[in-house]
Amino acid sequence: MIRRLEPYRVQAFNTAKQSENKMHDDTVAKRFGFSGGLVPGVDVMAYMMHLPVAKWGRPFLERGLIDARFVKPVYDGEMAELTAEESNSVLSIEVQSRGELCATGTASLPASAPPFSLGDYREVAAAAERKPVNAASYEVGQWLGTTPRDWAGDAARQYLDDIREADPIYAREGLSHPGLLQRVMNRALVDNAILGPWIHVGSRMQLLSAAKAGDVITARAKVIGNYDKKGHRFVELDALVVANGDTPLAHCHHIAIYQPREQAAA
């Protein structure tokens, strides 16, 4: 039996207009054939998380599984409509904007969070000196670290405002939104090379513990893929996102185009 959840609508907001990644800048993005700067994929994924959290509440934040693939851009100021159908305890999620399918994904609630050992994920520091990205960046087997980051107080509230999240569970229970873990995954790329315009294309995230407001978050990421596809250069990461150096928060598979065709051919 298929059950449709109540749709969720968001007026998208480009949180990264001033980012080092100029794919979020209107002028640069138009040179790549887009209508304007892209709303970050990690924020679109954060919009998608609203639906499983609305359905399952805190248990989803503690052990939920979500994946997302970004098909077409979501643009600043435009309405994004998120719909979900439930079948066999799995939500199939779609994000539509401008009448176009922009993202797809699924979410579910496993009976328990699978075990992950900190010892299986090497802790390294972010690059002391970032170098311009090239085809040899992100070598398969390389371990990447991130600069520790926390979102507490005003920063946590600003993040919820930025992603238009009004669910009271985060303030009521002193929790961080899991979309922040995806931002840390992006840092595994950004903190280790000087990138040109680049695109996050998809992620799979198994939550392992609910992140608490003010947690200091890092990623321990291993490069598991670096390849050309249709002229783009892709990187894939397998990572454990960790709070305070000792608490696994999520196991993530992160995929990005780190050099689009125009850059890769340069």
Q: Which of 66, 72, 133, 135 is CA-nearest to residue 105?
A: 66
CA dihedral (126, 263, 202, 96) positive or negative: positive
Q: Can you give the residue range of the structural domain that contains 244? A: 3-110+119-264
Q: In this predicted model, what pLDDT tens digit does every residue of 208-237 receive, in sequence order?
A: 999 999 999 999 999 999 999 999 999 999
Q: Which residues is 219 bridged to in the sheet?
A: 241
pLDDT of residue 18: 85
With beta carbons less than 8 A apart as the criterion, state whether 219 and 240 touch: yes
Number of domains in the chain: 1
Q: Which of 43, 36, 51 is CA-nearest to residue 6?
A: 51
Look up the pTM and report it: 0.95
Give the pLDDT mean for 38-42.
94
Give yes or no for residue 194 having a pLDDT over 60: yes
Q: In this predicted model, what pLDDT tens digit does every residue of 136-185 receive, in sequence order?
A: 889 999 999 999 999 988 999 999 999 999 999 999 999 999 999 999 99
Q: How would residue 1 be classed by pLDDT, with cut points 50, 70 and 90?
A: confident
Q: In this predicted model, what pLDDT tens digit does every residue of 58-85 receive, in sequence order?
A: 999 999 999 999 999 999 999 999 999 9
Q: In this predicted model, what pLDDT tens digit does every residue of 103-127 receive, in sequence order?
A: 999 999 999 999 899 999 999 999 9
**Residue 244, domain CATH:** 3.10.129.10
User: What's the burial of 114, exposed, middle or buried (CB within 10 Å: 0-12/13-18/19+)?
Assistant: exposed
pLDDT of residue 249: 98
